[in-house]
Structure 1
Amino acid sequence: MKEYTVVDLFCGAGGFSLGFHLTRRFRTLLAIDNYNPAGLTYKLNFPMVKVLLEDIKDVNDSLLRKILGGAKIDVLIGSPPCEPFTGANPRRERNPLDRLYKDPVGQLTLHYIRILGVLRPRFFVMENVPAITEDGLKDALLGEFERVGYERVYFNILEAENYGTPSHRRRVFVSNLKIQPAPSPSNITVKEALSNLPLPGGFPPNHDLPKEPSHRKMKRMSRLDWGEAMIHYQGADKELPNLIRLHPHRIAPTVLGSSRFIHPYENRFLTVREQARLMGFPDSFVFTGGRDDQYNMIGEAVPPPLAKAIGLYVASRLDEEGG
């Protein structure tokens, strides 16, 4: 079967790329991110891909042409930062349009669209939180995509647990396709996701014990039932839980960069490897950088099982159009 080409913007550690690679239908030519631990992690796991550690604002047409050498790009994927839009951010701009046009981080979404207009791939898939469509933002984005030549754009809401991810994650995948992947037959529970792992320490990579909590925290931790949180913090419009003791017979809550979960049976936080399993990363995928960097990269990734389901669907549509 034909292999298609991909460019990944705001690639992070590479969860989105990994899912597309797992289909065996795609080859990533270029990945871009300005977060050094993410770029190093990406390069370690995808040694054949060109990785550009650069601020997207400084990536211009001539640099892209120089790196890609005129290669035809079939698909542009990417995940601009969601912090300006998410309700979990208590400091997001009050005016929704300011989140896109005034917030410097929100403006990075416009740079994704700018590069989309330069590369002109057959399909694009941009991941973010559903709040990026709220209160006039959807119409603003439609106008920006139309300006670079994409008049038909869809806002596909997908939930990761329906595609083989052991945690809840509801995201919008903005695309010039109606994305309708084939769902998994059943959900994967926390217990299933963490099964067959040895005691922390040694193999597999990233499976060392986190720092032991203080005596006071350990005492509070030991009293938590499944599904209970040790703390709550204020989001933009509601309180949100953290330090949750996972329920072994359910999927995990949404994994965020700030998420730390408590093991369902033991009085300790999850290892990086256990956290990665909740997002569907294989044990062969190695994270570099400090431990907080590793948790953050996992929480900010597109879950590979969901990315794979999207990749298979996109490949089928490319095939239908004649490769």
Structure 2
Amino acid sequence: MLPNGLKKDSHCKKKDNETSKNEKNHFTFVDLFCGCGGFSRGFIDEGFNPLVAIEIEENPVSSYALNFNGKIYEKIYKNGQYNYILKENYFKLEDFMSKEEIDFFKKINNYDKLSPIILNEDIREIHSLDILKFIDDKNDNNLGNIRSLSSNNIDLLIGGPPCEGYTGANPKRLKNPYDRLYSDELGRLVLEYIRIVGDLKPKVFVMENVPGMLNWQLWECIEQEFAKVGYNEIYFHVFNAENFGNPSVRKRIIVSNIKLNPEWSEHKNIVRDILEDEYTFKTIKNVEKLEKNEKSEETQKFRVNELNLNKEQYPLAERISKKLKDTKVGSGAVKFKASKGNLENYILINENDVSDTVMGQRRFIHPNKQRLLTVREQARLMGYPNHHILAGGLTSTYNQIGESVPPTLSNAIAKEVYKYLKSLEVDK
């Protein structure tokens, strides 16, 4: 039996009137386990302002900073004490775009209105007072559009703790669900999320994880842990990202202290929509328009969408090519071990449907060409806009995508959180 508050998105209402993005959104948030910024992207696109983000991996931190005008800090110990110092981002916008492209990239991202602090540290080593200090410093220095903040009026805290302790794709997942939360090194990071929620006391928190968390023992334990830090009523939601416009399957558990009922997308996006061939076709169709209207905002936005970001093409390895002739559309050329049985990899993607779930180590094969999907195509499978930068090598960028929250899903949730926070202001 499902616990009280668990909602499957088959009960979600269909899309009606969207929140107006022209309304001033002054709400702020903190993002734990921010990765390359998928979870944040959906909220930022809805007008939320990121204050602080935390991520241990270096390349995702670079991606986050590039996309959202962030400053990176790391902890330095000296004489038994520590301080945070500003850390240079190895990657620059100039590594990805021309000056003209950078100018418009900043414009469509409201770049100059964003200034998040990114702590490139292990969350287990971060004290909540460190987060509050950075928020207070930002407020004192009038950086960004920040309201006066304290530990009891932070609007929102989001985060997707690592899923390895819970996912069925992990062959080493512990058998006892209780141990996954309290004994597994990565599974315990959910408790770190709860710790910081308890310390910062946000009006709303939203935590994302995998369906492997669908276990009554885990639910009870998670409910108890949130109750310990002052949140006695929480809701478990089950959402399928494809219902919100994602062109790939991604079933996710969303835990929050408020009920979420995001509106479905009216349009189903499929694999064909994200392939480079389709984008090339759109380019050809728009050549005349581009030539006639060189400086229009629509033309410039189109050009940003056609930036050569993460579009390098790679042929298949010989061992994969040999297996491909016996591979059916929608099936994998190879398999890898999971906690129960095997999962498919190097999947010959079906262009007429949504794709299988994108994972960090999973690769997809183009339906008509002997090559892998590019990093950009794989990012589109997760609902990332073409102007979202992914910094790092090939394996790292694929991993950043597969380990993130689809911006399509996070944006649908952001609309719900916005409505709730606005209702609190009306009630005052």
Q: Structure 1 length as normaliser, TM-score?
A: 0.95
Cα distance, 1:272–1:150 mapped onto 2, change above 3 Å = same
Runs of 4+ aligned residues of structure 1 deviating over 6 Å after TM superposition are none
Q: Quick check: which has more Rg, 1 or 2?
A: 2
Instruction: Render the CA deviation track for 1:150-204: whole Å, top value 9, x for unaligned.
Output: 00000010000000100000000100111110001131110012253349xx942
- State the secondary structure of the residue aligned to 2:169: coil
The residue correspondences of 1:166-177 to structure 2 (distance < 5 A) are 166-177=247-258
Instruction: Select 1:205's aligned residue among 305, 309, 332.
Output: 309
Report if the CA contact (8 A) 1:204-1:283 is conserved: no
Q: Distance in 1 between matches of 2:246 and 2:417?
A: 19
Q: Distance in 2 between matches of 1:198 and 1:288?
A: 24
Aligned to 1:36: 58
Report if the CA contact (8 A) 2:54-2:118 is conserved: yes
Aligned to 2:29: 6
Q: Which runs of 5+ in 1 are unaligned?
A: none
Aligned-partner residue type, residue 332 of structure 2? A
In the alignment, structure 1 residue 54 sits paired with structure 2 residue 157: no
In the alignment, structure 1 residue 237 sits paired with structure 2 residue 340: yes
Aligned to 1:271: 374
Aligned to 1:182: 263
Instruction: Render the CA deviation track for 1:70-115: whole Å, top value 9, x for unaligned.
Output: 4441010000000001111110111111111011111111000000
- State the secondary structure of the residue aligned to 1:126: strand
Q: CA deviation at 1:216?
A: 3.7
Aligned positions, number: 319
Q: Distance in 1 between matches of 2:186 and 2:206?
A: 19
- State the secondary structure of the residue aligned to 2:333: strand
- State the secondary structure of the residue aligned to 2:238: strand
- State the secondary structure of the residue aligned to 1:171: strand
Report if the CA contact (8 A) 1:84-1:92 is conserved: yes
In the alignment, structure 1 residue 22 sits paired with structure 2 residue 45: yes
- State the secondary structure of the residue aligned to 2:357: coil
Report if the CA contact (8 A) 1:222-1:267 is conserved: no
Report if the CA contact (8 A) 2:336-2:345 is conserved: yes
Moved more, 212-221 or 133-142: 212-221
Aligned to 1:260: 363
Q: Which runs of 5+ in 2 are unaligned?
A: 1-23, 70-114, 137-148, 282-305
Aligned-partner residue type, residue 41 of structure 1? S
Aligned to 1:132: 213
Instruction: Render the CA deviation track for 1:220-272: whole Å, top value 9, x for unaligned.
Output: 22443321210122211122111111101100110000110000111111110
The residue correspondences of 1:206-221 to structure 2 (distance < 5 A) are 206-210=310-314, 212-221=315-324
Q: CA deviation at 1:134?
A: 1.1
Q: Distance in 2 between matches of 1:126 and 1:98?
A: 20
Q: Distance in 2 between matches of 1:217 and 1:232?
A: 11
Q: Distance in 2 between matches of 1:90 and 1:178?
A: 33
Report if the CA contact (8 A) 1:181-1:309 is conserved: yes
Aligned to 1:110: 191
Q: Distance in 1 between matches of 2:397 and 2:230?
A: 37
Percent identical pairs in the alignment equals 41
Moved more, 124-133 or 169-178: 124-133
Instruction: Render the CA deviation track for 1:261-289: whole Å, top value 9, x for unaligned.
Output: 00011111111001001001011011011
Report if the CA contact (8 A) 2:307-2:386 is conserved: no
Moved more, 187-196 or 135-144: 187-196
Aligned to 1:74: 155
Aligned to 2:416: 313
RMSD: 1.6
Q: Distance in 1 between matches of 2:389 and 2:395?
A: 14
Aligned to 2:244: 163
Instruction: Select 1:95's aligned residue among 146, 154, 176.
Output: 176
